[in-house]
Amino acid sequence: MKIDVLVVGGAGYIGSNIVKLLKKRNYNPIVLDNLSTGDERTLLNATFYKGELADKVLLKQIFKTHNIKTVFHFAALINVGESVKEPSQYYKNNVCDTLFLLDAMREYNIKYFIFSSSAAVYGTPSQVPIKESSICNPINPYGQSKLMIEKILADFDVAYGLKSSCLRYFNAAGGDPEGAIKNYQAYQGNLIPRVLRSLKKLQGSVIVYGNDYPTPDGTCIRDYIHVWDLAEAHIKAMEQLWNQNKSTIYNLGNGQGYSVLEVIKKAEEITGKKLTFTFGNRREGDPVTLIADASLAYKELEWTPKYSDLDSMIAHAWTALEGHDILQYI
- With 0-12 CB in 10 A as exposed, 13-18 as middle and 19+ as buried, what is 289? middle
Residue 252, beta-bridge partner list: 169
Which residue in 49, 142, 224, 258 is the catalytic one? 142
Which phi and psi (to 5°) does residue 246 adopt? -140, 135
As a whole number of Å, the CA-based R_g of the chain is 19
CB within 8 Å of 155: residues ≥ 6 apart: none
Which phi and psi (to 5°) does residue 251 adopt? -80, 140
Residue 280, beta-bridge partner list: 209
Active site (annotated) includes residue 142: yes
Amino acid code (one letter) for 253? G
Ramachandran bin of 272, using left for φ above 0, alpha for ψ from -120 to 50, beta for the remaining angles: left
Q: List active site positions.
A: 142
